């Protein structure tokens, strides 16, 4: 499943396609949305935001189109006269000055007013989005110490969208490795300085994944891994997908375990549970 950085990159592409432009046609598959389509014609698309894995297309009259792709949804960008060839079912099409963004297969789509958006059942439970909102290091660090989070294992906490929205499975392993944290450690087990380092790593790894299209490894380690013949799906990561290979940092063998029924990769020498 795409994680926050992939969704933010998709949002960027949609924003380049239709952002700032005036809507000349809208089509919705679902009847409750279809009846509102006409009222969007002539409206300008302001920008495209993300909240974790959800996308928010904002219009000039403060309405917001919420969509969540879940496992199947996909946005395709195209010209009005050149429809994408796909057997997927079309759910939304927004046409602006001849440029279109079409959403296929997704089913979680709704139209909101900005003022009511906090009442959205999914959005209201989400933590901050590092790629669409201004979030400081201190804010992330403080979240680690909140009562509802500080006794959770880091392996579970980092996937909780209520902690920080948009973190997913590969980011979890990568963040814990760079922060030298064991997945079973809890925020309460760390020193204040370690919590600060972890918070910094959560931000840094997410940003890097966004800027470098899912690459979270460091440049020297990437070069080493490519020289050793690793394919991209392995060299892009520092530990994820690298079970059985040696740790870039210490040479120990990377291991894989299941946490929250999802796979987690870690180095048993670099990530010690000291508590």
Query: Catalytic amino acids?
Result: 2-3, 53, 262
Q: Which two tokens stand for residue 258?
A: 């299941």
Using CA atoms, how far apart are residues 55 and 11, in angstroms rounded to an integer? Answer: 7
Report which DSSP code applies to 166: T
Residue span 130-169 as binding mask against Zn ion, x where in contact by CB under 5 A, dash where not: ----------------------------------------
CA-to-CA dists, residue 24 to 27, 41, 44, 67, 77, angstroms: 11, 5, 9, 20, 16
246 near Zn ion, rule: CB under 5 A: no
Stretch that binds Zn ion, among 62-70, 99-107, 211-219, 240-248 (CB under 5 A): 240-248
From the CB of 239, what's the least distance to Zn ion, in Å? 8
Determine, following the binding rule CB under 5 A, whether residue 101 of this chain makes contact with Zn ion: no
**Nearest Cα residue to 238 out of 187, 160, 177:** 177
Instruction: Choose one: 2-10, 71-79, 198-206, 242-250; the region binding Zn ion (CB under 5 A).
Output: 242-250
The answer to the question of residue 181 lying near Zn ion (CB under 5 A) is no
d(CA 252, CA 193) in angstroms, rounded, equals 26
- What DSSP letter does each residue of 187-249 carry, written as one string? GGGS-HHHHHHHHHHHHHHHHHHHHTTT--S-HHHHHHHHHTT--HHHHT-SSTT-TTSBPTT
Q: Which is nearer to Zn ion, 100 or 254 (CB)?
A: 254
Could you say whether residue 65 binds Zn ion (CB under 5 A)?
no
Distance CA 143, CA 165 (A): 12
Q: Binding segment for Zn ion among 64-72, 96-104, 215-223, 252-260 (CB under 5 A)?
A: 252-260
Which of 62, 269, 273, 275 is close enough to bind Zn ion by CB under 5 A? 269
Residue choice 7, 164, 239, 270 for contact with Zn ion (CB under 5 A): 270
Using the rule CB under 5 A, which residue among 249, 256, 262, 263 binds Zn ion? 249
Interface ranges with Zn ion (CB under 5 A): 247, 249-250, 252, 267, 269-270
């Amino acid at each position: 499943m795409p994680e926050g950085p992939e969704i933010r990159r998709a949002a960027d592409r949609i924003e380049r396609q239709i952002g700032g432009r005036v809507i000349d046609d809208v089509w919705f598959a679902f009847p409750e949305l279809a009846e509102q389509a006409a009222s969007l014609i002539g409206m300008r698309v302001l920008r495209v935001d993300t909240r974790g894995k959800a996308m928010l297309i904002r219009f000039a009259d403060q309405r917001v189109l919420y969509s969540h792709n879940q496992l199947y949804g996909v946005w395709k960008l195209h010209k009005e006269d050149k429809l994408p060839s796909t057997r997927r079912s079309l759910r939304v099409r927004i046409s602006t000055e001849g440029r279109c963004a079409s959403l296929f297969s997704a089913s979680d789509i709704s139209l909101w007013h900005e003022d009511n958006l906090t009442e959205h059942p999914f959005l209201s439970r989400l933590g901050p989005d590092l790629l669409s909102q201004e979030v400081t290091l201190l804010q992330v660090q403080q979240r680690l110490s909140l009562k509802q989070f500080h006794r959770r294992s880091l392996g579970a906490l980092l996937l909780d969208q209520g902690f920080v929205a948009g973190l997913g499975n590969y980011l979890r392993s990568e963040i814990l490795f760079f922060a030298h944290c064991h997945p079973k450690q809890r925020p309460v087990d760390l020193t204040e300085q370690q919590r600060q380092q972890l918070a910094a790593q959560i931000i840094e790894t997410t940003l890097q994944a966004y800027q470098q299209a899912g690459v979270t490894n460091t440049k020297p380690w990437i070069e080493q891994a490519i020289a050793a013949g690793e394919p991209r799906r392995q060299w892009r990561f520092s530990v994820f997908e690298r079970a059985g290979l040696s740790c870039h940092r210490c040479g120990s063998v990377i291991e894989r375990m299941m946490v929250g029924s999802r796979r987690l990769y870690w180095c048993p020498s670099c990530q010690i549970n000291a508590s």
